[in-house]
Structure 1
Amino acid sequence: MSVLIKLRDYRNLPEAEKQIRDFILKDPKRIVDMTIYEVAKETFTSTATVVRLCKRVGAKGFNQFKIMIASELQGFENVHLNVLDTTTVSRDDSPKTVIDKITNIDVHSIEETRIILNEDSLVEAANRIHKAQVVDFYGIGASNVVALDATYKFMRIGKNVACYQLNDRQWVQALNSSSKHVAMVFSYSGETKEMIDIANECQKNGCYVICITSSTSNTLASIADVSIAVSSRETLFRSGAMASRITQLYIVDILYALVSQLDYDQAIEKVNKTRITN
C-alpha cells in the first residue's frame, strides 16, 4: 500500500493532521531528511499528532514512516507519477487538450492502482470466485456499469452470475445469497449505504464478500472478507468518478484473467464457444 496515495486520498482528517498531510505531500523528499520535531514545528502541531498520522497510514512511528516514503518515491519516479498532480478540464480547453488530459488521468490512475495492489488479496479473491457456485455483482451508478461488465466477462467463462441495476432487486439478490455464493461489491467511497447494507446481509447469510473500493479506510472495506483498493485521480469538476470507473474495470480484468488461469483450457474453450461473430 502506498503511504503517499493513502495520505492524499484520506477523507475527514482532523485539522492538525490535515496540516501535516498537506505539508508532507507538498514535498515528500524533504520529509525524509527531517526530524519529527522539525515537522511538528513547521506545521504548528505536536510530535504526538505527527505520530498519530503516521500510525493512521500503517507505520509504527515517524522513522518507519520516512523509510516507507523514501522507498516508494523511487517507484513513483520510475513511472513518472506525481501524487499531487490533479487535472481538470477547463471551459476553454481545445479537443486535443481534453483528449490529452483524460488520457493522462486514466493512465496515471491505473499506474497508481498497480502500486497499491495487494497480490495476496487478488489471488484469494480469484480462488473464491473460481470455487463459488454463484457470483453476485453489486454496484450503484458508475459502479453498476462496472458490475455489469464483470457479469458479462465471468459469464463468458461459464460462471453462474447475477447482477441487477435496480437497488430493490440487488437487495433481494443479497437476501437470497448463501455460503455457495461470492459477492463482489463495487463502491469507490466505500460509504454507499445501500452497498454497506448489502455487504452486511451477504455476510449474515454466509456469503464471502469481496469489495473493490478506495485505498483509504472506509466502512465497506472493514466489512468485506477481502478488500481490493483502487486509486482515483480528480478530473473534470474535481470528481474522481471517471477515473475510479477505469481503475475498477482494471481490477475486473485482472480477476477475470486470474480466474481463467485456474482452469485455463476450459476457460479458453468457453470463450471461443461464446464468441459472437457478425
Structure 2
Amino acid sequence: MSVFSVLKQIERNIEHCTRAEKMVAIYVLENPARVMEMTTKELAAACQSSEAAIMRFCKRIGIQSFKVMKLELAKELHANGEGTSEIVDSPFQLEDDPKLIMKKVMFNTIQALRNTEKMISVKTLSESIEKLHKAERVFVYGVGGSAIVVRDFAQKLLRINVNVFRSDDSHLQMVMTANATKKDVVFVVSTSGKTKEVVNMLTIAKERGVCCILLTQNGSSPARRLADLVLTMSEEEHNLRIGTMTARIAQLAIIDALFVGLCSIRGQDVFERIIDTYQVVQRLKK
C-alpha cells in the first residue's frame, strides 16, 4: 500500500532548497538509516549545516519537526524492506498492460493525496475558509487542467448560494477581476504558479487590494509571491506531465476540504440549500 515518502519529497523539493537546506537534503538522501539515529545537532555537524537549517528543511518537505521526519523515515525504510513494489512505483511505460497501468495510477493517486495531506497547512486552510465565508463575491480562475478544478469549485459554491463568478475567457475574467473590491476574494488554481494569465490576474487583484487565495504545488513561483494565502499541495508532477493527473486529484481533494469547511461554518441552512438544488436537478431526469 502507498505511504508518504520522505525521500521522494526530498528529491522533488531539493531544487527549491537554500544552500544550507540542500546540504541537509543530500545527506539525508544518502544516509537515511543513519539519520534515524541522529539528533539535530549531530546531523548539523555531519552535513556541515545548522540546526535552524534542518528545521527549515523539514517544513519545506511538509514535515513539522525533525522527530517526525525520523519516524517517517523509519516507516518508509521498513516498508521498503518488506518489498514495496518498485515496478508499481515507477513512470508509465509504453509496454505497460492495462492491469499494471491501473496499479500505477492508483499508487500515484494515493501517494499524491498522502503527500499533500502532509504538505497542506491547516492554518492556511482555515483562514481560506473564513475569507471565502465573509466574501461578498468570489472570483475563481484556472487555466488548462486547473480550469477543470475551478469549474468543480464554482459548481459547489453555487449550490450553497455563494456569489461566484468564473469564465474560461481570460479577457472576460480580467474584466470581472477589475471590478472586484476589498470585500471580495479571488481564488486561483495553478499547478505551476507560473502561467502568464494567472500572474496577470493576481497582479490586477493585488492592485485593487483584493484578497487572493492560490492553490498551487510546492516551490517558488510568481503567483505564490502575489497571493495573500497559499494552499500548498505536494509537487507530484513536473517537467513532462501526462495530463496533470495526480495534481488534479490533489487539487480536487483540497477543494472538497474548503467546501465542507464552508458548509460547516454556514450551518444547517446550507444543507437545506443543497437539498433544494438537488431536487431541482432531479426534475431533469424525469
TM class, shorter-chain normalised? 0.7 to 0.9
Distance in 2 of aligned mates of 1:197 and 1:187: 12
Q: Match for residue 30 of structure 1? A: 34
- Residue 225 in 1 paired to residue 228 in 2? yes
Deviation, structure 1 residue 32: 3.5
Using the size of structure 1 for normalisation, the TM-score is: 0.80
Distance in 1 of aligned mates of 2:7 and 2:98: 32
Deviation, structure 1 residue 238: 5.5
Task: State whether residues 154 and 161 of structure 1, in contact with CA within 8 Å, keep that contact through their aligned partners in structure 2.
Answer: yes
Q: Match for residue 111 of structure 1? A: 114
Distance in 2 of aligned mates of 1:235 and 1:103: 19
Cα gap change, 1:269/1:16 in structure 2, threshold over 3 Å: closer, same or farther? closer
Q: Which amino acid aligns with 1:57?
A: F
Q: Which residue, out of 267, 270, 281, partners 1:264?
A: 267
What CA deviation, in whole Å up to 9, does each residue of 1:19-70 have, x standing for no partner?
7635523553332446447744xxxxxx25x7796476367xxxx9744521
Q: Match for residue 160 of structure 2? A: 157
Bigger mean CA deviation after superposition, 30-39 or 132-141: 30-39
**RMSD of the alignment, in Å?**
3.4
Task: State whether residues 32 and 66 of structure 1, in contact with CA within 8 Å, keep that contact through their aligned partners in structure 2.
Answer: no
Task: Considering Cα pairs closer than 8 Å and 6+ residues apart, tell me whether 1 or 2 has the greater RCO.
Answer: 1
Q: Which residue, out of 149, 172, 183, partners 1:180?
A: 183
Distance in 1 of aligned mates of 2:235 and 2:43: 30
Cα gap change, 1:53/1:195 in structure 2, threshold over 3 Å: closer, same or farther? farther
Cα gap change, 1:270/1:5 in structure 2, threshold over 3 Å: closer, same or farther? farther
What CA deviation, in whole Å up to 9, does each residue of 1:214-265 have, x standing for no partner?
1223332232111111124349965581111110110000000000111121
Cα gap change, 1:187/1:53 in structure 2, threshold over 3 Å: closer, same or farther? farther
Deviation, structure 1 residue 205: 0.9
- Residue 131 in 1 paired to residue 137 in 2? no
Cα gap change, 1:270/1:78 in structure 2, threshold over 3 Å: closer, same or farther? farther
Task: State whether residues 16 and 220 of structure 2, in contact with CA within 8 Å, keep that contact through their aligned partners in structure 1.
Answer: no
Matches within 5 A, 1:2-21: 7-10=10-13, 11=15, 21=25
Count of matched residue pairs: 264
Distance in 1 of aligned mates of 2:6 and 2:229: 20
What CA deviation, in whole Å up to 9, does each residue of 1:82-119 have, x standing for no partner?
9x995321111111111111011111111111112211
Q: Which residue, out of 99, 102, 124, partners 1:99?
A: 102
Using the size of structure 2 for normalisation, the TM-score is: 0.78
Q: Match for residue 189 of structure 1? A: 192
What is the SS of the residue equivalent to 1:274? helix
Q: Which residue, out of 122, 125, 138, partners 2:125?
A: 122
Matches within 5 A, 1:30-109: 30-33=34-37, 35-36=42-43, 39-40=46-47, 47-48=48-49, 54=54, 57=57, 66-67=66-67, 69-73=69-73, 86-109=89-112
Structure 1, unaligned stretches of length 5 or more? 41-46
Distance in 2 of aligned mates of 1:240 and 1:18: 30
Task: State whether residues 36 and 73 of structure 2, in contact with CA within 8 Å, keep that contact through their aligned partners in structure 1.
Answer: no
